[in-house]
Amino acid sequence: MRILIIGEGGRESALAAKLHKDVRVTKMFFANGNASTDAIGQNVHMSDIKELRDFAIKEKVDLTIVGPEAPLVAGLKDEFKKHNLKVFGPNQKVASLEGSKAFSKKFMQTYDIKTAKAVVFDSYNEAKQYVQNHDYPLVIKASGLAGGKGVVICDTLEEAEATIHDFMIRRIYGDAGIRLVIEEYLVGFEASIIAFSNGEKLFPCIPVKDYKKAGNGDKGPNTGGMGSVAPSPEFTAQHSADFEQNILAPTITGLKAEGFSFKGIIFFGLMVTKKGTYLLEYNMRFGDPETQVLMALMENNLLDVINDCMNGKDIELKFKDEKAVCLVMCSGGYPRNIELGFEIVGEDKVKHSQLLYAGAVRKGNKVVSNGGRVLNIVATGTTYDEARKKVYEDAVPVQFDYSFYREDIGKF
């Protein structure tokens, strides 16, 4: 089987490492890939959908797995389908559940999916008017994709007005911000649940805790994710029951009612409050760095799981009764200004963990940093502490200039 994986992060490295073990996988291509993926397959450099389609036809690709959201939102599945190319992921319409926060909020409201109260605005004046008489904090979201930067938690009216101006008038995120979702602020802890879809039913994985803030103790700016832990120790059986009843079940109903059947991944970004579990967002693809810990614990053969979903069969997901911790090592300055191109050393000294490159590429016989999140160190153990110790011990010898990571991933 010939597989094309689109993306270049630690998520794609984790998926690739799992699939690589399968003897049925004869060749893997990665667009654009990284220093892990080029060790087990072929990195190709392209991002245009038509170029990817032509490549998949020419190389007789049997299955394409899409890591990031942008190609799905741009209609990759629709274009591939015209040529009978199989893609594990939704079409453009269904990907709008991630690509448009206004669209997904309407879906959640229509199908009684527990979510924060929100109003959608297309008019600058109406949005400005709305925030005048409101309790703060208030959450203002650009409806379109803004690379994870389009959500602002505003503590004051002045901040809210400035944000609306930035999004709608200055258009700092282009068209992504011309429509806004303004919603109530929820207090609680976050959890991520990734579910596989076979076109009919959704099969959730164990809950994951993702560390979004750059600094220890959840301080500093938001990032793409500084680490992850599975299963989330905070998300209890009671939270799971609440999620299944008030979010998962009505989502399945909504998908059916709208004709949004798809084979792929749906990711639930949750906020657990004193009043229960709320859905913040859907992502229509694997999460990063959630995937890294899920793959470390998943007992199923990933190719079987994907094939069964593609064929509309039911699956039974099984995870080791262990804990997994993923530490993300970053470039100095991340998530703001970063410098790239520093040589990474010490990977051969990693003893108890899996090292997955993310923003790192091979240059001659060296591996150099090439992104904000450079590499992941992943380990499992019978306790969080055991997994955590392995990860932090293995992180010490892995070095590149100005690198940093959080010290408190998996510390409870």
With CB under 6 A as the contact rule, which of the stretches 58-66, 145-153, 155-163, 355-363 interacts with ligand ATP? 145-153
The pattern of x and - marking residues 84 through 123 that bind ligand ATP according to CB under 6 A reads --------------------------------x-------
Strands 42-43 and 27-32, how do they pair? parallel
Among residues 106 and 212, whose Cβ is nearest to ligand ATP?
212
CA angle centred on 367, ends 365 and 372, rounded to 5°: 165
Minimum separation from the CB atom of position 280 to ligand ATP (A): 5
Q: By CB under 6 A, tell whether 280 contacts ligand ATP.
A: yes
Among residues 270 and 355, whose Cβ is nearest to ligand ATP?
270
Which of these, 12, 402, 359, lies nearest to 367 by C-alpha position? 359
Residues 11-40 interacting with ligand ATP (rule: CB under 6 A)? none
Which of these, 231, 235, 241, 242, lies nearest to 206 by C-alpha position? 231
With CB under 6 A as the contact rule, which of the stretches 144-152, 250-258, 374-382, 390-398 interacts with ligand ATP? 144-152
Among residues 75 and 188, whose Cβ is nearest to ligand ATP?
188
Minimum separation from the CB atom of position 95 to ligand ATP (A): 13
Q: By CB under 6 A, tell whether 269 contacts ligand ATP.
A: yes
Residues 188-247 interacting with ligand ATP (rule: CB under 6 A)? 190, 212
Among residues 59 and 184, whose Cβ is nearest to ligand ATP?
184
Among residues 79 and 190, whose Cβ is nearest to ligand ATP?
190
Beta bridge partners, 28, equal 3
Among residues 99 and 231, whose Cβ is nearest to ligand ATP?
99
Indicate the helix (H) or strand (E) that contains 375: strand 373-381
CA angle centred on 41, ends 208 and 18, rounded to 5°: 30
Residues 173-192 interacting with ligand ATP (rule: CB under 6 A)? 183, 185-186, 190
The site for ligand ATP, by CB under 6 A, has a size of: 14
Runs of H (alpha helix) within 225-336: 237-243, 249-258, 290-297, 302-310
Runs of H (alpha helix) within 165-289: 237-243, 249-258
Among residues 186 and 214, whose Cβ is nearest to ligand ATP?
186
Hunting for tokens 């799981």 — which residue is that? 305
Minimum separation from the CB atom of position 240 to ligand ATP (A): 19
CB atoms within 10 A of CB 237: 7
CA angle centred on 41, ends 38 and 47, rounded to 5°: 75
Upper half-sphere CA count for residue 272 (Cβ side, 13 Å): 20
Q: Which position among 50, 129, 134, 148 is part of the footprint of ligand ATP (CB under 6 A)? A: 148
Which of these, 302, 292, 297, 319, lies nearest to 377 by C-alpha position? 292
Give the footprint of ligand ATP on this chain (CB under 6 A): 116, 139, 148, 150-151, 153, 183, 185-186, 190, 212, 269, 280-281
